[in-house]
Structure 1
Amino acid sequence: MNFLVYCRDKLKEEAAFSLLEMMLVITISSLLTVIFIQLITDLYQNNDFFSLENAWQLDAYLAVDFIADQIKNSTKVEIINENEINIFSYYNQEYQWLKFSIYQSSGNNNLGRSIGSDQLNFKDFGRNLSLLDKVEDLKFEIIEPGLLKVTLAVKAKSTKKVEKLTVSRLIKI
């Protein structure tokens, strides 16, 4: 029994937090939370801006990779000139002709892809479908027998200056 009395008296002696102290802790933690959320929001907004500024570079790499994959999967490759190539490749769940070239639309050079026939001896290309805008140059060059070099040059106008990027791939044919 003495122990219970001792515990009760001990609890009465210890001071608790006052209402003012609790309000101060809640206010400080709220301010820290708001500052942290603002920093995270600013970070994501800046990251989106950075991604949009450099999206054209990623598009150029992806376009060259797409062309390279189609050439690797092809059974026949015909280089028409240094800016145009026709390939008979597995595309859209069947073998068919594809043509990659530069065409003009709205005053800009665009990288285009035309889909042709599924017969090896009959090309019959349709209209150009744009893969990439603001293309400066596209070159297909045989480096040595069995080795093709694809080079794509693109430009983008950023807020400060005009930027250029050249992407190249070597492909075994």
Structure 2
Amino acid sequence: MNTTPHARAGLTTAQETAQTVVLIIVSVVTAWMLYIAPWQVSGDPCLLAAVATVVVVVFLWATRWQGLRGVSFERNLLAAFLVGMPLVYVARYLFASTGRAVNHWLWIEVLGVIIFAALAVLGLKRSPWFLAIGIVAHGLAWDSWHYRNSTYIPDWYAIACLAVDLALSAYVAARVPAYQRASLSVSNKIFGS
């Protein structure tokens, strides 16, 4: 296996190859999500989330060729995406409730916003591993919990979001060395090391 450093972010060719393969998988899963989405209901937060996922994946491909500057942008983008994931569930609850009284499910969704926003902040301030953990936790805990158990989250979205979250968290985990290198580079510029 070729492990020579890659010029774009100081990564080995093997690391770059693994990251590209996982991003291809993310792209395929995202395309599948678009295929299974029922596009008849305009304004549905789940459909808007599907479109936002496509935009994020396009940006992930674009940042791959931007060096360390792109890596920093990518990390911020993924943190914003992690914060946005549970907001879709709050918005969908409100979209589906159509004036009914608020029940305990809304507050559980709000709790999810707090938890995943905290993981996003930790992913930016402490370690990029928190981003990977947050994204996979959203899939395994939130999406799988809503699948066939929710009156306001459609099953197609729960399963598609689970698949995207699992693929995207694998991509983030593969990118951790690049995120760490970019953070080290910024620290060295700030402190003159």
Which of the two has greater strand per residue? 1
Higher relative contact order (CA 8 A, sep 6+): 2
TM-score over 0.5 (shorter chain): no
TM-score normalised by length of structure 1: 0.27
TM-score normalised by length of structure 2: 0.24
